Amino acid sequence: MSSDLWSFSINLYAKPGVESACLALQTGGANVCLLLCGLWLEQRGVSCDEQKLQQLKHLAGPWDSTVVQPLRKLRTQWKNLALQDPGLGGLREQVKKLELEAERLLLERLEATVKDWPTGQSLDSAQWLQRLAANAGQANHDALHQLRVAVSDI
């Protein structure tokens, strides 16, 4: 198990099927950084409760909506045009790097928030993914299952 959230996330994302599962959940409205954090907390045996969930959502929500989402929207808007314009393609790659950096910073902030939360073999730690996926998880049961399978290999 990776000790820090960023390494855990990179290792998990490299597993077969994880990228497509994350993209499906993201399309359904889930915040992938929160899901990755939830899986990491589950592995560490951190108990899941409403106060902790809200604390993570309160931290991630504004950063996601004001930093990550605008970068993602710009990158997506430029996708087809960048295929025909190498200059725009280069700018799009820079935006993509900024988006990834913004997600890395969010994961670091999430990790800093949970650093003092007790770890162990909590019985309710398996609730993190389901509760953080919320409505996106209902429509993407297979994607959630894929994440659970992939995380068991780490």
**In the chain, % of residues over pLDDT 90:** 73
Q: How many residues are recorded in the chain?
A: 154
Which is higher by pLDDT, 153 or 79? 79
pLDDT of 145 over the 80 cut: yes
How far is CA 33 from each of CA 66, 75, 105, 132, rounded to the nearest angstrom?
A: 15, 18, 10, 10
Read off the pLDDT of residues 77-126 as tens digits, 9 standing for 90 and up.
999 999 999 999 999 999 999 999 999 999 999 999 999 999 886 766 67
Q: What's the pTM?
A: 0.91
Identify the pLDDT of residue 54: 96
Question: What burial class does residue 153 get, using C-beta atoms within 10 Å of its C-beta: 0-12 exposed, 13-18 middle, 19+ buried?
Answer: exposed
> Are the C-beta atoms of residues 113 and 55 closer than 8 Å to each other?
yes
What distance in Å separates the CA atoms of residue 137 and residue 154, rounded to the nearest whole number? Answer: 22
What distance in Å separates the CA atoms of residue 133 and residue 36, rounded to the nearest whole number? Answer: 10
Identify the pLDDT of residue 6: 96
Average pLDDT, the chain: 91
The mean pLDDT of 17-26, rounded to a whole number, is 92
The mean pLDDT of 63-72, rounded to a whole number, is 97
90: number of Cβ within 10 Å? 11
What distance in Å separates the CA atoms of residue 11 and residue 132, rounded to the nearest whole number? Answer: 20
Helix axes 32-44, 86-114, angle to 10 degrees: 40
> Are the C-beta atoms of residues 18 and 32 closer than 8 Å to each other?
no
pLDDT of 1 over the 90 cut: no
Read off the pLDDT of residues 125-142 as tens digits, 9 standing for 90 and up.
678 988 898 777 566 888
